[in-house]
Structure 1
Amino acid sequence: MIPLLVCDDSMMARKQLIRALPLDWPVHITQASNGQEALDAIRKGHGRVVLLDLTMPLMDGYQVLAQLRAEGLASQVIVVSGDVQEGAQRRVHELGALAFISKPADPDELREALIAVGLLRPAPAGSPITGVPGRATPDLQVNFRDALREVCIVAMGRAAALLAQVLGVFVRLPVPSVNLFEVSELHMALADAQRGERLSAVCQGFIGESIAGEALLLFHDAESEEIARLLDLRPNGEAEQAEMLLDLASILIGACLSGIAEQIDVRFSQDHPQLLGQHASVERLFQLNSRRWRKTLAVEISYAIEGHDLHFDLLLLFTETSIARLTRKIHYLMD
């Protein structure tokens, strides 16, 4: 049996990946939920082969790859990540990864990658693929929040790849936060995080199959000149600056919603993006829009641009009445 380590902070991602493993691949599976756990397992001999995520707390996949090289640990690593930027794929190969697979891992793509790097022998033509006797498939119980976070990680990775292409940059991806808030609680949390900053915000409504909400993208006024420079624009006045923000919001919000819709098999109709407020405080922004929300399922994503003092805060706010339908869609993915 080959000691295989599956490292991802999402239990849902680990469950999907373990299900995608070739039935005829004789492996003994160990799991890790962050990079530090992964390194501990590898040092104990549990990770001759590693399937490694990139976006994780405590220690991300890039740091794991760098540490493997620093310690001379001879693991064979395939990266399985939602961060599909060309820059991310180039970096992991430079750090020693054998291959890169995008999330969610397709079983056929995973099999082909394993064969290509010499970790799995191709099955003889026409022969049936049978399971490995004695392989234990873990029964992972995935909760709704973890599953939704994983769906959003895949979606935000696609949005980041498009943003990176448009701006010619590398986008640092966070682990998204998923919480059910009273709007007043979300307001207070954001006001505390953005204390004293002036913001501009773009909102875009979406609806599909009884799932509805708004995407809210916050831009920090202090960073607007840097955005214009990256886009090679010289906005003349607030109207042109607003147009620049609306165009950028269309890229990020549209790609992210499209990624979510594809995974949960819905079709979102999207409103035109609108400038909710310009050069305003968080308090003012929520006063402008607070009548639309009471309680919301909030997904918070903060994109940071490497090498620039620039980041975008994206909030996906699902209405309270959407939660039941969204839960059913997510449970279908988990099963």
Structure 2
Amino acid sequence: MSTRVLICDDSKIARKQLARVLPTDWSVEVEFAEHGQEALDILSATPFDILFLDLNMPVKDGYETLEALQSCEVSPAVIVVSGDVQSQAIQRVKDLGAMAFHKKPASADDLRKLLVSLGLFTPSKEAAPSGVTSNALTAAEQFTLNEYLQEVANVAMGRAASVLANMLNVFVKLPVPKVNVLEVGELQMALDYSVKEDSCSAVSQGFVGSGVAFETLLIFSDSSFPDMAKLLNVSEAIDRVVEVELLMDVSSVLVGPYIDAFGKQLNIDFSHSHPVLIAQHAKVSDLVNAKKAKWKRTLAVEIVYEVENYRINCDLMMLFTEDSVPVLENLLSYLVEEE
């Protein structure tokens, strides 16, 4: 008798990757959901044995889905599979009823050991059958550069947030990364929407490796400074010098681990320039105008970090050079095919 498995993740690549690393000697029927609400709708109509659940999703995220499942008379065993590896995130999902947590990207060996340890899978002593049964896996799947990049950014985002959370003993709320090709005017609109403040400060840093070049731009709402100082145990008066020190400290904690995790997924060691303060108490329009000649049209990855219970908001952007795009696309597509 086959085990019924539902994989819920907003990333097509993540869904495919997870389905591919399920044990090959496990007779399973797999279906997919793109967000928590779709998963709940499917579960209300059809019983499933196991739900693999992502955390950062639109419509209804993993936390909200776990909360909703608590009121269900019959629910599947839930294994959260996420790039958010904050210790508080792992504890929260377990408190909400998840049987286990597994970090992205899942490997076949690690997932197999986890399923056996949980008693959800017993290895077969016979020759391995075909394993996964799913119409969704038989068709040739084509992914866009945006989809490749969003999933890699999602994993890197979780690693960076974990470093910040451990250092400051906080919980960092994570979004779904946004990936778009933006003109300068569109970039300003995106930043205006994310920053939501009259003024901001920004730190820039350049990275290059294996034909891929990009600039990181970490933008802080100026209203973040008092709580940033509190978390970093800065007791002196917050003047412009102290603000720069705070910016550089948080920038090193967020950008460094993020780029390290991003590079490891692509097997690239990026070299980098020193971080540079490019704006202090400036309007977003001034920030964009200062770099307009260089940016023009760029592939951009945007992540908005928020610290729970604190008024701290920062926007991390990766802005790739145009000639990096074909190289990046080739690297990412090869990476997915090799999984």
Q: Does 1:131 align with 2:133?
A: no
Provide, for residues 219-241 of structure 1, a one-character-per-residue CA deviation record: whole Å limited to 9, x for no partner: 11112001100111135431222
* Counterpart amino acid of residue 270 in structure 2: F
* Counterpart amino acid of residue 334 in structure 1: V
* Counterpart amino acid of residue 116 in structure 1: S
Aligned to 2:321: 319
SS in 1 for 2:106: coil
Q: Does 1:305 align with 2:269?
A: no
Gap change, CA 1:134 and 1:110, over 3 Å in 2: closer
Provide, for residues 20-39 of structure 1, a one-character-per-residue CA deviation record: whole Å limited to 9, x for no partner: 10001111011000001101
Q: Does 1:88 align with 2:94?
A: no
| TM-score, with structure 2 as normaliser | 0.93
Structure 1 residue 213, shift from structure 2 partner: 1.1
Taking the aligned partners of 2:43 and 2:227, their CA distance within structure 1 comes to 42
Taking the aligned partners of 2:132 and 2:157, their CA distance within structure 1 comes to 38
Structure 1 residue 55, shift from structure 2 partner: 0.5
Aligned to 2:67: 66
| Contact 2:8–2:35, Cα closer than 8 Å, also in 1 | yes
Aligned to 1:205: 206
Structure 1 residue 129, shift from structure 2 partner: 4.4
Q: Does 1:48 align with 2:49?
A: yes
Taking the aligned partners of 1:174 and 1:192, their CA distance within structure 2 comes to 14
Structure 1 residue 288, shift from structure 2 partner: 2.4
Q: Which stretch has the larger CA shift, 58-67 or 291-300?
A: 291-300
Aligned to 2:215: 214
Aligned to 1:103: 104
Taking the aligned partners of 1:192 and 1:45, their CA distance within structure 2 comes to 40
Aligned to 1:25: 26
| C-alpha RMSD of matched pairs (Å) | 1.7
| Contact 1:7–1:34, Cα closer than 8 Å, also in 2 | yes
| Contact 1:30–1:46, Cα closer than 8 Å, also in 2 | no
Aligned pairs (5 A) from 1:1-335: 1-123=2-124, 129-132=128-131, 137-139=137-139, 140-191=141-192, 194=195, 197-236=198-237, 237-335=239-337
| Contact 1:235–1:241, Cα closer than 8 Å, also in 2 | no
* Counterpart amino acid of residue 8 in structure 1: D
* Counterpart amino acid of residue 166 in structure 2: Q
Taking the aligned partners of 1:39 and 1:302, their CA distance within structure 2 comes to 27
Provide, for residues 135-159 of structure 1, a one-character-per-residue CA deviation record: whole Å limited to 9, x for no partner: 6534333222111101100000000
Taking the aligned partners of 2:108 and 2:335, their CA distance within structure 1 comes to 15
Structure 1 residue 123, shift from structure 2 partner: 4.7
What 5-or-longer segments of structure 2 have no aligned partner? none
| TM-score, with structure 1 as normaliser | 0.94
Provide, for residues 153-204 of structure 1, a one-character-per-residue CA deviation record: whole Å limited to 9, x for no partner: 0000000101111121101110011000112321243235546511110111
What 5-or-longer segments of structure 1 have no aligned partner? none
Structure 1 residue 133, shift from structure 2 partner: 8.6
- Kindly tell me the number of residue pairs found equivalent between the two proteins: 333
